[in-house]
Amino acid sequence: MPHLKLRDGAELFYKDWGNPNGSIVIFSHGWPLSSDNWENQMFYLADQGYRVIAHDRRGHGRSTQTWHGNNMDTFVDDLEELFSYLKVKDAVMVGHSHGGGEVTHYLGKHGTGRFKKAVLVGAVPPLMLKTNSNPEGTEKSVFDTFRQAMRKDRAQFFLDVPSGPFFGFNRSGAEKSEGQIRSWWQQGMNTSFKSAYDSIKDFSETDFTEDLKRINIPVLVLHGDDDQVVPIEAAGLKSSKLLPQGKLKIYKGGSHAIHNVNVEEVNKDLLDFIKS
């Protein structure tokens, strides 16, 4: 399995699928998952002739479980090393949830030189946390309960999240997938406790407002209007307005995991946007 040794000795796992000479699409996963969460989109686009690349964020999946560096600045610096090594250029960047924050901060910090477009799916920007200037955000006490649940029984907490709000399986009439739940649990438990714990603060308290304003390429924002994890009012609706070239598509009744639940629709939207 390919790994890249980073500047501090940590090893970053990545997948590099499809046509090696095809146009490049990069995927960044959400919390507390791995590149496996994008497998449907990666397979679909690779089958269309694209080169698709996805990494396991440090501390996640098959990457090194570092004790320090579980923060957005480190994550995006890791990506710049990976993109330099793989000679990424003229590519499209796609991120879900925490990974959408990673995409946003990468483009805000390192610029858009390697990329022509980006896609944010159920992404955390501009800011999840409720503040005086962000009244639509989520109370800090909610994220405190995440940390408490991890300390008490991480394994059970990582069953409760996918069984309920993540995929929207707690909604009346939802078609529950035991396989999706087990896959989420497995990915989450393969992430280090420290990285998963630290990342709660990272995805909830990082303010991406200025990053969004700096992104000078077209960005497609896909968000479910029944996202129980990252409510659209505090995220997709705001991000699409802050982005200089933002375009919003709302998935009616869509959960936080529209790319896992509404697979065919998301795949089509990605391909249409990439080709446009």
Measured from the Cβ of residue 265, the count of other Cβ atoms closer than 10 Å reads: 15
Rounded to an integer, what distance in angstroms lies between the CA atom of residue 218 and that of residue 238? 16
Verify whether residue 256 is a known catalytic residue: yes
Choice among 23, 63, 97, 239 that is catalytic: 97
Whether 97 is catalytic is yes
Residue that has been written with the tokens 């957005």 in this structure: 72
Choose, from 36, 56, 78, 227, the residue flagged as catalytic: 227
Candidates 55, 98, 256, 259; catalytic one: 256
Residue with tokens 């901060």: 105
Provide the edge-to-edge strand list for the sheet that holds 24-28: 3-5, 11-18, 51-55, 24-28, 91-96, 115-121, 219-224, 246-251
Instruction: Write the single-letter amino acid at 42.
Output: M
Token reading at 56: 């396991």
Q: What are phi and psi of 132, to 5 degrees?
A: -60, -35
Helical H segments across 27-177, by residue range: 39-47, 72-86, 98-110, 140-163
Residues 6+ apart with CB under 8 A from 106: 76, 79, 80, 93
Indicate which residues carry an active-site annotation.
97, 227, 256
